């Protein structure tokens, strides 16, 4: 068991760590934000109409109304979470589009309006994707995938840099151009920021990209190690590993005021923190003499970190599922790397993929897991077990993280 230490004399006064994140969120239509909101392609749904959530796309008025309606039909048609009908459905979509701007309304078959919103991004496609995702979430309670993207690390350029692609592997863009490389990417839930580990100072530093302003800032550059960032679900805090106190420990940094607290006291090197959806608990990997194992800690109490039994001799790279019911992680399986998912807080585990699979990350709807295997980026459907390589021949790919 790891002992908990707040280190109040040092950690709680790290105001200098936060270096002006700024108000970039308001500039949501910068080229950075457009990169992270490109379209996701998919296959036509074959779900049983009797079991599906049925949606009818009705009239869209305005100069670009007909074009918008067709694009919405095309986009929703790629999802297996809803079934499009030409006649009576459980839900009906109507609206107006002028110049690509969309005002869309979702109502049930009795006429009760579930929401009515305006989407005013510069391009029609961006508005269609955002509206479609809102529709799917409203009628199913699960996030849509149209605006989801995956970041990953590749050495294609000669140094490790961070790239982003659609959920089907298309529209790959290079995000970082760090002279000494960039690793460990993670995106805030609202898409306004991305954090990663860079090496410009000669030591690992945590850098945040403001997606609105397109600016890179060092958010943690204390002496020694600063690495492995993870945004809290609300985007207000950052968990990361820092070693300025001596031994590397996990800290939680408040991005608004720069204050930080230490949430571990270990003899090993705790790393790879990931947040529970409740915004309180962290899971991370540490070697306390038994090989890398997973530990959990409640960031809002004084309780010590607790080892979480995985049943594996090696466990790292943990990530909680979107509903908090499972943790996926990299493990040793049959003398090789493999991806394992285990119910939380206790329950059965299952091997998702063997033969060198690593760095699992959950899709926003919790129905798939992406991972790196033999330098390629794979996505696997958990219900059917079907998987596909979505990015290959793009250098050696590692550390994928799905934008929630």
Domain with CATH 2.120.10.30 in the chain: 11-34+148-402
The answer to whether 5 touches 266, Cβ cutoff 8 Å, is: no
What are the distances in angstroms from CA 338 to CA 157, 259, 273, 307, 354? 27, 37, 19, 20, 4
Question: Which pTM value belongs to this model?
Answer: 0.82
Look at the chain and count its residues: 404
Pairing of strands 368-373, 113-119: unpaired
Q: Which CATH superfamily is domain 53-140 in?
A: ABC-type transport auxiliary lipoprotein component (3.40.50.10610)
Nearest to 167 by CA among 154, 177, 152: 152
* Residues of the chain falling short of pLDDT 70: 1-52, 221, 404
Q: How far apart are CA 391 and CA 255, in angstroms?
A: 33
The answer to whether 367 touches 380, Cβ cutoff 8 Å, is: no
Nearest to 10 by CA among 372, 366, 262: 262
291-342 residue pLDDT tens: 999 999 999 987 889 999 999 999 999 999 999 999 999 999 988 999 999 9
Residue 256: how many other CB atoms lie within 10 Å: 10
Q: How far apart are CA 22 and CA 15, in angstroms?
A: 15
Question: What pLDDT shows up at residue 52?
Answer: 53
Q: How far apart are CA 136 and CA 65, in angstroms?
A: 20
Q: How far apart are CA 280 and CA 83, in angstroms?
A: 37
For residue 104, the Cα-to-chain-centroid distance in whole angstroms is 27
Give the fold, CATH level 3, of 11-34+148-402.
Answer: Neuraminidase (2.120.10)
Report residue 353 as tokens.
């993929």
Q: How far apart are CA 179 and CA 160, in angstroms?
A: 9
Domain with CATH 3.40.50.10610 in the chain: 53-140
Query: Which residues does 110 contact at the CB level (< 8 Å), separation at least 6?
Result: none
The answer to whether 275 touches 232, Cβ cutoff 8 Å, is: yes
- For tokens 């990997």, the residue is 285
Pairing of strands 53-61, 82-85: parallel
């Amino acid at each position: 068991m790891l002992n908990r230490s707040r280190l109040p004399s040092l950690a709680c006064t790290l105001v200098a760590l936060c270096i002006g994140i700024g108000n970039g969120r308001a500039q949501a239509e910068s080229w950075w934000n457009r990169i992270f909101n490109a379209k996701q392609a998919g296959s036509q749904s074959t779900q049983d109409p009797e079991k599906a959530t049925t949606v009818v796309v009705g009239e869209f008025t305005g100069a670009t109304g007909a074009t918008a309606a067709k694009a919405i039909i095309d986009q929703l048609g790629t999802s297996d979470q809803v079934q499009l009908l030409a006649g009576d459905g459980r839900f009906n979509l109507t609206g107006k589009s002028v110049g690509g701007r969309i005002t869309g309304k979702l109502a049930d078959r009795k006429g009760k309006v579930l929401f009515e919103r305006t989407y005013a991004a510069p391009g029609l496609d961006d508005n269609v994707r955002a509206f479609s995702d809102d529709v799917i979430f409203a009628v199913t309670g699960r996030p849509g995938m149209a605006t989801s993207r995956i970041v990953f690390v590749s050495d294609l350029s000669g140094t490790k840099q961070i790239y982003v692609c659609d959920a089907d592997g298309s529209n790959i863009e290079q995000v970082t151009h760090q002279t000494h490389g960039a690793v460990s990417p993670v995106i805030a839930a609202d898409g306004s920021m991305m954090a990663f580990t860079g090496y410009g100072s000669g030591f690992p530093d945590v850098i945040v990209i403001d997606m609105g302003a397109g600016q890179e800032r060092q958010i943690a550059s204390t002496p020694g190690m600063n690495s492995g960032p993870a945004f809290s679900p609300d985007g207000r805090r950052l968990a990361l590993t820092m070693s300025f106190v001596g031994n590397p420990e996990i800290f939680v940094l408040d991005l608004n005021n720069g204050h930080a607290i230490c949430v571990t006291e270990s003899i090993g090197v705790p790393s790879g923190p990931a947040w529970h959806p409740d915004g309180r608990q962290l899971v991370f990997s540490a070697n306390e003499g038994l090989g890398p194992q997973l530990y959990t800690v409640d960031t809002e109490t004084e309780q010590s970190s607790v080892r979480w039994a995985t049943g594996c001799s090696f466990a790292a790279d943990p990530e909680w599922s979107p509903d908090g019911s499972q943790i996926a992680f990299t493990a040793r399986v049959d003398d090789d790397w493999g991806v394992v998912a285990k119910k939380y807080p206790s329950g059965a585990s299952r091997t998702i993929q063997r033969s060198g699979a690593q760095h699992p990350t959950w899709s926003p709807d919790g129905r798939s897991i992406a991972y790196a295997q033999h330098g390629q980026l794979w996505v696997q459907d958990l219900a059917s077990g079907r998987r596909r390589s979505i990015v290959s021949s793009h250098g050696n790919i590692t550390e994928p993280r799905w934008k929630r």
